[in-house]
A and B are shown apart, each in its own frame.
Chain A
Amino acid sequence: MAIDIKGVLSPLSAIGTLFEHPKTLTYPQAKKDIPVGYRGFHINNLETCIGCASCEEICMNEAIDMIHPDIEYNPKNTSGCVPRIDYGRCCWCSLCTDVCPPSSLKLDNICTHAECDPDNFLYMPKNIKNIGEDVS
């Protein structure tokens, strides 16, 4: 029975990686920067939202509800409603942002949300003018 010398010795080359820099991301402490354009959670600029419900119409998951906002919004808003998204339905396909006529609805690169109560996943999009700039 021939011994496969190469097959025994070559896996030992893995020992060399002991001296490499670790590749682990220490997540809760150090966050990985997520690129601009990542399809994370929704943001909506209430100054330009026209309440047209295009997003509600295109969403195949019926994740979007139009409701009255409790803060000030665009006076030209035709229906007086703004979208609210059910994160028990959303699939982050970003079709709603593609069809938004004034491009007020966008996706941010914040994307983690854990909750104990499954009833708390109705998400009011943050009122943000541009990514990185908070209005409310």
Chain B
Amino acid sequence: MESGFYGSSLDDSLKCKFEESGLENTHKIMEKAVNWFRSRSIFVVAYGTGCGAIEMPPTFTSRYDAERMGVIGVATPRQADLIILSGYLAYKTLRRVIRTYEQMQRPRYIMTLGSCPINGGMYWDSYNTIKKLDDYIPVDVAVTGCMPRPEAVIDGFVLLQKRIKNGEKAGWEKYDENFEFYKDNQKRVLGGHIDPSYETDWYNLKSGGKA
């Protein structure tokens, strides 16, 4: 899948052009600069999938003020770089989360709050919640706590910023590479009742083709 300029690194054709004109260093510097800028302006869509939604307002308002670090909330997934899944996910929510995640533009990151997405948490024996979220969508940062304090959420932001700055391999790249693996897992747990992937050509859905 083409990542384009908006991927984790500058795209290959641009890299070739730089190399042809003997400017590898410029390319490296530019890549670093892009990563730095990216780490300082994280737009967040906070999907309150569970209890953790209660710690979102304190994190984003004046007491803890995540905006100091360039982290700011937005309303729609299409404008967002980061989706926060705050807490356990019911099967019904997972369907919507996958849909929301696939609508986001690359680069896209996922942060989970609380113990529940990690290994089931309090609801480990509940018949309606997901136990291991990273089987279904790639998780970049997981913050533990029940609920994590706003400090812990900010720690998560700091960790994510560090990862972006260092140009580490992000979850969305894994998702693109192992698309089939994730889709299989999703189908297994959601029982086939799952929306077509967002890359689907919706206008020609009946002829069943990918765009």
Q: Classify A-B as touching or not with yes or no (CB < 8 A).
A: yes
Decide: B118 and A118 in contact? CB cutoff 8 A. Answer: yes
Cβ-closest chain A residue relative to B158: A28
Total interface residues in chain B, CB < 8 Å:
36
B124-161 CB mask vs A (1 if < 8 Å, else 0) is 10000000111000011111111011111011101100
Decide: A112 and B122 in contact? CB cutoff 8 A. Answer: no
Known: A112-B149, A114-B156, A121-B144. Is A61-B121 also a contact (CB below 8 A)?
yes
Segment at the A interface, from B26-34, B60-68, B178-186, B197-205:
B60-68
In the assembled complex, the Cα of A87 lies from the Cα of B121 at a distance in Å of 8
> In the assembled complex, which residues on chain B have CB atoms less than 8 Å from the CB atom of A114?
141-144, 152, 155-156, 158-159
Decide: A116 and B64 in contact? CB cutoff 8 A. Answer: no
In the assembled complex, the Cα of A114 lies from the Cα of B146 at a distance in Å of 13
In the assembled complex, the Cα of A90 lies from the Cα of B124 at a distance in Å of 10
Total interface residues in chain A, CB < 8 Å:
27
Decide: B124 and A24 in contact? CB cutoff 8 A. Answer: no
Within 8 Å by CB of A24, from B68, B140, B145, B163, lies: B68
Known: A112-B145, A115-B141. Is A24-B132 also a contact (CB below 8 A)?
no
A75 within 8 A of B: no
In the assembled complex, the Cα of A131 lies from the Cα of B159 at a distance in Å of 27
Decide: B120 and A89 in contact? CB cutoff 8 A. Answer: yes
A27 within 8 A of B: yes
In the A-B complex, the 4 residue pairs with the smallest Cβ-Cβ separation, listed nearest first, are: A88-B119, A88-B118, A112-B152, A114-B156
> Could you write out 26 A-B pairs with CB less than 8 Å apart?
A23-B62, A24-B62, A24-B63, A25-B63, A27-B151, A27-B154, A28-B154, A28-B158, A88-B120, A89-B121, A90-B115, A90-B146, A92-B145, A111-B145, A112-B151, A113-B155, A114-B141, A114-B142, A114-B156, A114-B159, A115-B141, A116-B141, A116-B142, A117-B142, A118-B119, A121-B119
Residues of A within 8 A of B (CB): 22-28, 31-32, 61-62, 86-92, 111-118, 121
